[in-house]
Chain A
Amino acid sequence: MTVLVLIDHENGKLKQPSRSAVAAAAKLGDVHALVAGHEDVAASAEAAAKLPGVTKVLKADAAGYAHALAEPLAALLVKLAPGYTHLLGASTAVGKNVMPRVAALLDVQPISDISDVIDADTFVRPIYAGNALATVKSADSKKIITVRAASFDPVPAVGGSATIEDVEDAGDTGVSRFISAELSKSERPELTAARVVISGGRGMQNGENFHLIDPIAEKLGAAVGASRAAVDAGFVPNDYQVGQTGKIVAPELYVAIGISGAIQHLAGMKDSKVIVAINKDEDAPIFQVADYGLVADLFTALPELKAELERV
């Protein structure tokens, strides 16, 4: 069995979730990596060739691939598909956008966001925002899969030495066009990629008070999130939302401040490695999932936490 992994890359660098996708692919068979892009594609292809487990890198260089638009990328994957039993991508914005399109073109039901590989046909994937784990077996002759990066330790960045082969442009119907990208200028990491996430809830009382979290987030290199209650109350914008209807995060450390722990919030963060809860209500459900709980008024605890982190 040979598996093709769509590599998500930017500015000549591989995105870490792609290394997790390679790790998942290695459980299935020989791994080839597809690096499609333009200008920076050579550097990315060389980086992909160094990934342990990858035996061949397919490099596709064309202007149409510069911004990873789904339409041309899917056409390329469909053209390459006959040589492979499985096509994988990480559950990144690119993978989630492209892989289902490929699946439909090949008349395959995709298997999204797998968290484990049982065998060549059988995979585990979270459903209901991770409140249940489904083991599913595919009857399709080819499998199209996206990989939940948090569930597979990424392969190391170096150690392999794959050959690099050029593949031809598969063409583009031109129905979509890249206009611009505004990537967050914040020094802070994005919520779904952050090692540490600090979220505020209704207990923050207003948007202004969220600034109490800023210096702590700064100190810990953390992303700032919020519960749906805080978003609904208008304290912070919707893209802060962690939960079933917001972002699903699984950082090394999750700090919940003034969050009671509604089901739909827990669904978005309970896979975090270490959970800390600070809440003045000792019966708050958040304490049932927290590794460390502090029953305290957040308006006292946050300045103390800031001072304590700065002290050492």
Chain B
Amino acid sequence: MKLLVPVKRVVDYNVKVRVKSDQTGVELSGVKMAMNPFDEIAIEEAVRLKEKGVATEIVAISIGVTQCQETIRTALAMGADRGILVETDVSPEPLAVAKMLKAIADKEQPRLIILGKQAIDDDMNATGQMLAALLGWAQGTFASKITIEGDTATVTREVDGGLETVALTLPAIVTADLRLNEPRYASLPNIMKARKKPIETIKPADLGVDPAPRLTTLKVVEPPKRQAGKKVGSVAELVDKLRNEAKVI
């Protein structure tokens, strides 16, 4: 069966983002970019399903600027078979992304789409759920385990206070949480091979989707800064402060 895995190019998780002084957003120029960590987990899971013989083809999709090709190449180096880049200069919101992915899914007819549970830039945590809604498919969000048998995906989900297991009728959407797997590093030979794998480039208009945002960002500011507090000299002093000054224990 065919799998789709959307991958997003985001600021690398090790970068300390800086808010621009004009409050229009965060500084992105000259900043190291990488694949969204949850999307790496999604790709890894897809590759494992292919290695188990469950999946036959993995298509990695990215939506955004030309450089998203690099993100797709990373997915190809990890084991995806081909890529689709929806090239646009606007950074589309989850609703527009979900509409574009739906249009691609209508054409590609996958049995399963695995996404990261959220992107670490806008932290929306919405695209997977929205894509499931638009397709009318079942959704298994925040997955820590996926088993495919026949027409059913059994998904263990990370919920408040523990785990929940649901059975989804395929085709379905799964979003990857941290514990699903530990993504591999692409080997050099696989990085070389990935260069030869095909990437198709299309535009949002080819998918009949207007990527115009519904939300206007009025301003972006830094959160209130924490002041460094005081050093205490001993464990006894620490416990005393927590009890009698901060009153938290």
- Chain A interface residues (CB < 8 Å from chain B): 15, 67, 69-71, 74, 92-94, 96-105, 107-113, 122, 125-140, 173-184, 190, 192-193, 196, 220, 237-239, 241, 244-246, 252-253, 262-264, 270-271, 273-276, 282, 287-296, 301, 304-305, 308-309, 312
* B216 partner, pick from A139, A237, A263, beta carbons under 8 A: A139
Min C-beta distance of A65 to chain B, whole Å: 14
* Residues of the A chain whose Cβ atoms lie less than 8 Å from the Cβ of B215: 109, 111, 136-139
A206 vs B129: C-alpha distance in the bound complex, in angstroms? 38
User: Is A176's CB under 8 angstroms from B126's CB?
Assistant: no
* A196 partner, pick from B132, B229, B248, beta carbons under 8 A: B248
Given contacts A92-B160, A100-B94, A125-B123, 8 further A-B contacts (CB under 8 A): A113-B125, A127-B121, A134-B219, A137-B216, A289-B228, A294-B235, A295-B231, A304-B236
A125 vs B219: C-alpha distance in the bound complex, in angstroms? 11
User: Is B161's CB under 8 angstroms from A136's CB?
Assistant: no
* A-B pairs with lowest CB-CB distance, top 6: A104-B130, A291-B229, A104-B133, A183-B162, A100-B126, A100-B129
**Residue-by-residue, is B224-249 near A (CB-CB < 8 Å gives 1, otherwise 0)?**
00101111111110110111001011
User: Is B160's CB under 8 angstroms from A305's CB?
Assistant: no
* Residues of the B chain whose Cβ atoms lie less than 8 Å from the Cβ of A294: 231-235, 238
User: Is B221's CB under 8 angstroms from A176's CB?
Assistant: no
Given that A101-B132, A132-B220 are known contacts, is A176 also in contact with B242, CB under 8 Å in the complex? no
- B134 interfacial by beta-carbon distance below 8 Å: yes
A183 vs B165: C-alpha distance in the bound complex, in angstroms? 11
Min C-beta distance of B235 to chain A, whole Å: 4
A225 vs B221: C-alpha distance in the bound complex, in angstroms? 29
Residue of B nearest to A96 (CB): B125
User: Is B120's CB under 8 angstroms from A128's CB?
Assistant: yes
* B16 partner, pick from A131, A239, A288, beta carbons under 8 A: A131
* Residues of the A chain whose Cβ atoms lie less than 8 Å from the Cβ of B239: 305, 308-309
- B14 interfacial by beta-carbon distance below 8 Å: yes
* Residues of the B chain whose Cβ atoms lie less than 8 Å from the Cβ of A273: 248
User: Is A238's CB under 8 angstroms from B179's CB?
Assistant: yes
User: Is A296's CB under 8 angstroms from B228's CB?
Assistant: no
* A293 partner, pick from B162, B229, B248, B249, beta carbons under 8 A: B229
* A109 partner, pick from B140, B161, B163, B214, beta carbons under 8 A: B214
**Residue-by-residue, is B163-198 near A (CB-CB < 8 Å gives 1, otherwise 0)?**
111111100100000110010000000000000000
In this complex, how many residues of chain B approach chain A with their Cβ under 8 Å: the count is: 84
User: Is A134's CB under 8 angstroms from B217's CB?
Assistant: yes
Min C-beta distance of A290 to chain B, whole Å: 6
* Residues of the B chain whose Cβ atoms lie less than 8 Å from the Cβ of A94: 159-160
Given that A176-B139, A196-B249, A244-B13 are known contacts, is A296 also in contact with B235, CB under 8 Å in the complex? yes
**Residue-by-residue, is B115-147 near A (CB-CB < 8 Å gives 1, otherwise 0)?**
000001111111111111110111111101000
User: Is A128's CB under 8 angstroms from B228's CB?
Assistant: no
* Residues of the A chain whose Cβ atoms lie less than 8 Å from the Cβ of B217: 134-136
- B154 interfacial by beta-carbon distance below 8 Å: yes
Residue of A nearest to B162 (CB): A183
A252 vs B248: C-alpha distance in the bound complex, in angstroms? 7
Residue of B nearest to A295 (CB): B231
- B93 interfacial by beta-carbon distance below 8 Å: yes
* B13 partner, pick from A192, A264, A271, beta carbons under 8 A: A264
- B148 interfacial by beta-carbon distance below 8 Å: no
* Residues of the A chain whose Cβ atoms lie less than 8 Å from the Cβ of B238: 276, 292, 294, 305
* Residues of the A chain whose Cβ atoms lie less than 8 Å from the Cβ of B133: 74, 100-105
Residue of B nearest to A182 (CB): B163
User: Is B129's CB under 8 angstroms from A70's CB?
Assistant: yes
* A176 partner, pick from B142, B169, B235, beta carbons under 8 A: B169
A128 vs B167: C-alpha distance in the bound complex, in angstroms? 32
- B53 interfacial by beta-carbon distance below 8 Å: no
User: Is A176's CB under 8 angstroms from B13's CB?
Assistant: no
User: Is B220's CB under 8 angstroms from A69's CB?
Assistant: no
Min C-beta distance of A143 to chain B, whole Å: 10
User: Is B16's CB under 8 angstroms from A104's CB?
Assistant: no
- B207 interfacial by beta-carbon distance below 8 Å: no
Min C-beta distance of A270 to chain B, whole Å: 6
User: Is A126's CB under 8 angstroms from B139's CB?
Assistant: no
* Residues of the A chain whose Cβ atoms lie less than 8 Å from the Cβ of B178: 238-239, 241, 245-246
A99 vs B235: C-alpha distance in the bound complex, in angstroms? 46
A305 vs B223: C-alpha distance in the bound complex, in angstroms? 32
User: Is B242's CB under 8 angstroms from A274's CB?
Assistant: yes
Min C-beta distance of B218 to chain A, whole Å: 4
* A69 partner, pick from B14, B122, B166, B221, beta carbons under 8 A: B166
